[in-house]
Amino acid sequence: MSNDMNAIQSQKPVVYIGSQDLAQISSLLPSNKKRSMVVHSLVSALGLMNSNLNASARRRLQVVTQIKASYKDLAVYHTRDYLDVVLDSSAAVDGEDRLENGSTVNAEFGLEDDCPRFAGLAEYIQMVGGATLTAARALQNNLTDIAICWDGGRHHARKSQASGFCYVADCILAILALKRPTHPSPNPNSLNSMPPTAHKPRIMYLDLDLHFSDAVSEAFYSPTPSSASQVLTLSIHHSSPGFFPASERAKIPDISAPDCDPFTLSLPLKLGASNATYARIWRVVEKVKNTFRPDFIVMQCGVDALAGDPCATFNWSLGEAEGSMGWCVQKVVTEWSGKKLLLGGGGYNSPNAARAWAYLTSITLNNPMSLETEIPDHAGFPLYGPSFTLDVPAGNMFDHNSEEYLASLETCFDNVITELQKRLNF
């Protein structure tokens, strides 16, 4: 057997969290009905779930069934008051019970407007929260160095409120799990009787969703100057007056401001952001990563920034061009050190979400599919017209991200990097 094949077989599989139960319950999400079924069925139809290693493959995919999150698992972040309401499967969907302050239960916990209660909500929260935690534990237990949970990535869910189509803070729960200290095994041959020092891993959260990762960023935001943080959040998103979500943290970081936290970072982009724009700002992303040196990268891969999404805000394409979504993800997966957790997120054109996440799955296997790949015949086939291929091409809106604006971002982040270096070397 060749050395190349030995190397291939010695690689750990990519862990992919999925099951029929998870796809069915995730497909009840009011903002993305049936999307999960569409996504997983395409990944399967393209043969990516085939566990047999063949000569052209670099890695294999291991499908792992999620372990449902317990009340205790969820209470690591969420408040008990919130969990008692959302996990009460007997509660009426209208939730018009009133609290002592006169507000309804739904209003108090964000269960209205874009986050209505729905039949199966309690099961959904436990399944999706558990799916992302199952992926994180696979990384912690050294079963893999890449784990995928496309049903996760709910980055707007807060400690005691649902928000922005998100009911469970799975991103935050995963980060909290990954930041727990690890204890190296003692060396039996060492004369040193002292136990090894526990390692506090660093986690970089990188959010590619069109919308700012408000709940995640704010959960780890600390305005008090201090030494190094274990968690750094970096959100690349659109921000403009009236665009969801409204947050002070969504702006360009001003390191001179007293409330600036260099570990809570934003890269806001203007309308029409293109592959060229992403290629330009990726230098900033690389500098932040190289300075922070994470042990784990949690990447939220929301696809509502792709052209063709109903949000109709950016021109971003799926790949293979420099600066495309696939190009960015491939950089992280193949060139960055550290273990990676890939999560889903926004994306309101379900066939395009399936195209994107199937393509990104193939990237994690070190065997990117051609974007000209024809969609195979399966139950969801009619959804992929008129092209019936894997590609999500770039849009043609005007890109408002001028050279002057992008240069100002780079200058701002040069100052951020300097402050990060100070904190990390404290």
The DSSP annotation for 362-388 comes to: HHHTT-PPPTTPBPPSSTTGGGGTTT-
Q: Which amino acid is at 407?
A: A
Token pair recorded at residue 374: 């024809």
Catalytically annotated residues: 156
Q: Are 96 and 50 in contact (CB under 8 A)?
A: no
CA distances in angstroms from 36 to 45, 242, 307, listed in the order given: 14, 29, 20
Token pair recorded at residue 32: 């993305």
Reported as a single tens digit per residue, the pLDDT across 215-259 is 999 999 998 776 679 999 999 999 999 999 999 899 999 999 989
**How do strand 14-17 and strand 296-300 relate by DSSP bridges?**
unpaired
Measuring CA to CA, which residue among 335, 26, 17 is closest to residue 147? Answer: 17
Whether pLDDT at 102 is above 50: no
Residue 54 pLDDT class (50, 70, 90 cuts): very low
Token pair recorded at residue 363: 């990237």
CA distance 245 to 188: 53
The CA dihedral of 179, 68, 129, 66, to the nearest 10 degrees, is 80
Give the per-residue pLDDT at 223.
84
Site of tokens 């195979």: 376
CA distance 131 to 241: 35
Least confident stretch, 7-11, 178-182, 264-268, 406-410: 7-11
Q: 279 versus 54: which is more confidently predicted?
A: 279
